[in-house]
C-alpha cells in the first residue's frame, strides 16, 4: 500500500504520462450499475483531464457496462464472462439489492436466465484485482438503502463481507473516480482511511477548504439562502463531510454547491441521507 500522499492531479498526470510513453498497459474495467440512478456513470461522462474519450480509449478497456457498451443482450454478458479470465478492476455503482434473490435489479439475460446485479457482482468480485464502490449507494447504501428500504439494499462491502475501496459521493466527482483508478494502475492501492476511502481525496473536511471558512472563523453566519456568509447555521454539513469538493469542484471546475449558494448536504458521508436530514434549516 502506498504511504505517500499524492494529489488527484499529480496521480492523473503521472499515469497519463506513463501511458502515453508506453510504460503502462491499459487495464480491463468491469463497471456494474446495481440498484441506483446511474448518476455516477453519467457524472463520469462529464469528466475532463482526462476527458472520457481518452479515459476509455487509452487508460482503461471498459469491457462491460450496462449503459455504455456497444454489445447488447447475451453478447454483452458474454463479454463480462470473458473478462473474468483476465486481470481487471471491478467498479460497482449503486447499492446491492438482495430481496427476493435480487430480482429487483436484473442486469442481463443469459441462456434464458435472468442475472441479477448481486449475482454478477459475486462472480466478478472473486476474481477482480481491485474492487471499487463508486458513489454513496455502493459505498454506504445511500439513497437506495434509505428507510424503509423495501428492496433490502446494502453497501457493496456489507454484501461482499470484505473490504473494498470506497469512492463515495452522490454522485462521485469524475476526478475522484479517474484519479483513484489512475492510482491503482500506477501505484496500486492508495493510502486509505478507516472507512476505506483514498486519503488523497477524502483526507480533509469540506469545511477545511471552503471559500466561506473565514466567515465561520469570525462567527459571521448567513441568515438566509443567498447570503454570502457561512451557511453552517442553515444546516451546512461541510464540517463533518470529508471530500475535496471545494478544490476540484464540478462541471470541469465551474462551481460547487456552496459556490451556488446551497449548503453542503453531506452526500459523501456514511449515513446519507437518513442521518443528515434535514438538509437545510430555515
Identify the DSSP state of 236.
-
State the pLDDT at residue 5.
53
Higher pLDDT, 217 or 73: 217
**pLDDT of amino acid 212:** 97
Q: What values do phi and psi take at 125, rounded to 5?
A: -65, -25
Assigned CATH class of 206-276: few secondary structures
Instruction: State CA 121 to chain mean position distance.
Output: 16
Contact at 8 Å (CB) between 112 and 53?
Answer: no
256's enclosing H/E stretch is none
For residue 193, pLDDT over 90 is answered with yes
**Residue carrying C-alpha cell 453478447:** 75
Indicate the CATH number for domain 8-187.
3.40.50.700
Residue 267 labelled as part of a binding site = yes
35 annotated ligand binder: no
Nearest residue to 260 via CA among 211, 218, 216, 221 = 211
Q: Do residues 166 and 270 touch, judged by C-beta distance below 8 A?
A: no
The pLDDT of residue 2: 40
- Per-residue pLDDT band at 3 (split at 50, 70, 90): very low
Specify the pLDDT at position 14. 76
> Model pTM?
0.91
Query: And the C-alpha cell for 17?
Result: 504520462
Mean pLDDT of 48-66: 88
Tell me what pLDDT residue 92 has. Answer: 98
pLDDT band of 7, cuts 50, 70, 90: low
Average pLDDT over residues 192-198: 97
CA distance 35 to 255: 28
The share of the chain scoring above pLDDT 70, in percent, equals 96
Q: Check residue 162 and give its pLDDT.
A: 94
Residue 37 among known ligand-binding residues = yes
Helical spans, DSSP H, in 163-272: 174-186, 199-202, 206-209, 213-217, 245-248
Domain boundaries, the chain: 8-187, 206-276
* Percentage of the residues of the chain whose pLDDT score is greater than 90: 77
pLDDT in tens, 121-155: 999 999 999 999 999 999 999 999 999 999 999 99
Neighbours of 3 (CB within 10 A): 7
Longest dimension (CA), the chain: 65
Residue 240: how many CB atoms within 10 A of its CB?
Answer: 15
What is the grid cell recorded at 241? 463531510
Amino acid at each position: 500500500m502506498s504511504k505517500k500522499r499524492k494529489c488527484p492531479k499529480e496521480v492523473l498526470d503521472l499515469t497519463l504520462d506513463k501511458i502515453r510513453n508506453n510504460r503502462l498497459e491499459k487495464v480491463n474495467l468491469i463497471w456494474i450499475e446495481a440498484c441506483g440512478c446511474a448518476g455516477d456513470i453519467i457524472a463520469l461522462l462529464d469528466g475532463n483531464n482526462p476527458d472520457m474519450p481518452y479515459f476509455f480509449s487509452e487508460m482503461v478497456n471498459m469491457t462491460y457496462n450496462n449503459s455504455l457498451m456497444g454489445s447488447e443482450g447475451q453478447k454483452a454478458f458474454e463479454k463480462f464472462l470473458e473478462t473474468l479470465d483476465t486481470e481487471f478492476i471491478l467498479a460497482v455503482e449503486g447499492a446491492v439489492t438482495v430481496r427476493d434473490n435480487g430480482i429487483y435489479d436484473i442486469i442481463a439475460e443469459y441462456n434464458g436466465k435472468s442475472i441479477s446485479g448481486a449475482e454478477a457482482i459475486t462472480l466478478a468480485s472473486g476474481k477482480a484485482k481491485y474492487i471499487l464502490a463508486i458513489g454513496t449507494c455502493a459505498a454506504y447504501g445511500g439513497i437506495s438503502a434509505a428507510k424503509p428500504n423495501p428492496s433490502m439494499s446494502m453497501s457493496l462491502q456489507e454484501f461482499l463481507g470484505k473490504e473494498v475501496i470506497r469512492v463515495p459521493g452522490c454522485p462521485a466527482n469524475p476526478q475522484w473516480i479517474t484519479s483513484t483508478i489512475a492510482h491503482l494502475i500506477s501505484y496500486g492501492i492508495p493510502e486509505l482511511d478507516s472507512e476505506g476511502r483514498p486519503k488523497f481525496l477524502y483526507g480533509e473536511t469540506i469545511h477545511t477548504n471552503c471559500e466561506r471558512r473565514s466567515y465561520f472563523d469570525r462567527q459571521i453566519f448567513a441568515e438566509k439562502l443567498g447570503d454570502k456568509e457561512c451557511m453552517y447555521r442553515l444546516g451546512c454539513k461541510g464540517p463533518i463531510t470529508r471530500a475535496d469538493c471545494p478544490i476540484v469542484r464540478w462541471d470541469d471546475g465551474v462551481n460547487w454547491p456552496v459556490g451556488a449558494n446551497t449548503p453542503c448536504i453531506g452526500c459523501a458521508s456514511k449515513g446519507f441521507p437518513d442521518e443528515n436530514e434535514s438538509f437545510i434549516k430555515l
